[in-house]
Amino acid sequence: MKMTFLQRVERNVIGRVLNASDARVNRMTEPRWEVDGQPLDRRAQYMFRVGRIAERSMPSLTPAAARRYYARLNRVLEASPPDIGSVSELRLELRSGQRPARAYYPDTTHENDGKLPALLYIHGGGFTIGSIETHDTLCRRICAAAQCVVVSVDYRLAPEDPFPAAVEDCDDAYRWVMAHADELGIRVGHIAVGGDSAGGNLAAVVSVLARDRGGPLPFAQLLIYPGTGTAEHPGRTKADLQTGYGLDAKTTRWFFDNYVRDADGKDPLAAPLYLDTHAGLPPAIVVTAQFDLLCAEGVEYADKLRAAGVPVVHQHVPDLPHGFATISVLPRARQAIDNFATALKQAFRQGS
């Protein structure tokens, strides 16, 4: 019987990539793949080459099929998460109706006021794919490493619900968490927002909306390889990033076209890079990856925040691709996740 694409990926990743010796990985990753002279992590290169996970084109699928594909691929690429204290399923009352969410609690004693800091987490997926489930392992890792409550929200997806539906859901979720902080065991004034890729975009936009209505601001914003520009951003056409790393210009265009209508393209609530001013936004931890079409706009966003007087911690990951936060089978990815989660933990402690 002919194997499906995902069955081949599962066989290759589980049977070859995870169990490969360092000697084999080193032998099979010559010559090294490089961008601007920086080599890709060897095991990541081996995963792309042998696992062949970058072969399927998202734009060739329907949104529903893309979601199923991404969910199954995610299960292959995630390592077992660390133990945490507890997990609770939530239903958030938003203007669009009830939306599911999930709260993760660390295995730790509460701070001296009986409450813990928190992160509202907004999953990535190009505004089109992804869910609480696809980012469950990542949220557990952040919860354990940052020693904070993580509330992950399942917002409406495009193209069924285009811009600004996701913005409304995520902004409402932030306000819901603030309003219910006491019953959630969360310390008021210590609620950060964060997300990866499209989720990083939405976390940035939630921060903008909070600023523009006069607060209260998120404690911090954790922006993991955020998409902050439009599909026309020059960084997305970088030639040596177009193949082999799981995200190309065609895919980012498909995601963006699902999300926004042409007239909305440079609306700063869709592309916060184009805000009139970035002053007055919360402190930011911005994470970028060298092997990522969104790297340039992430760096540019960090620079604009810093120029506007916003405190910024910029963590550049020179040897990993876009999406590494949900590829925890890679030891280097787990290290990078721990690094940005630890930065969030330190920010909470310094602000206590």
Task: Quick: pLDDT tens for 201-216.
Answer: 999 999 999 999 999 9
From the number of C-beta atoms within 10 Å of its C-beta (0-12, 13-18, 19+), residue 342 rates as: middle
Catalytic residue among 207, 278, 322, 328: 322
Of the residues 75, 99, 127, which one is the last residue of a structural domain? Answer: 75
Same domain, 272 and 213: yes
CB 311 within 8 A of CB 284: yes
User: Tell me, what CATH number does 164's domain have?
Assistant: 3.40.50.1820
Beta carbons within 8 Å of 224's beta carbon, 6+ residues apart: 124, 194, 195, 196, 197, 199, 200, 287, 325, 340
Last residue of a domain, one of 75, 103, 131: 75
Annotated catalytic residue 292: yes
Main-chain phi, psi angles of 216, to 5 degrees: -70, 140
Work out the mean pLDDT of the chain and round it to a whole number.
Answer: 92
For the chain, what is the domain count? Answer: 2
Q: What's the one-letter identity of residue 341?
A: A
Residue 254 near residue 58 (C-beta atoms within 8 A): yes
Pair 312, 324: CB distance under 8 Å: no
Q: What's the pLDDT at 267?
A: 93
| Domain termination residue (choose one: 21, 51, 75) | 75
Of the residues 131, 152, 197, 207, which is catalytic? 197
* Owning domain of residue 127: 84-350
Q: Would you state the pLDDT for residue 19?
A: 78
Which residue of the set 136, 196, 292, 319 is catalytic? 292
Residues of the chain with pLDDT under 70: 1-15, 51-56, 109-112, 244, 263, 352
Closest CA to 176 of 94, 104, 121: 94
Whether 267 is catalytic is no
Would residue 197 show up in a list of annotated catalytic residues for this protein? yes
CB-based contact 348:142 (threshold 8 Å): no
Q: How many CB atoms lie within 10 A of CB 25?
A: 18
pLDDT confidence of residue 112? 52
Q: How far is CA 99 from CA 70, 121, 200, 238, in A?
A: 21, 14, 19, 37
CA–CA dist 62, 338 (Å, integer)? 34
Do 51 and 11 belong to one domain? yes
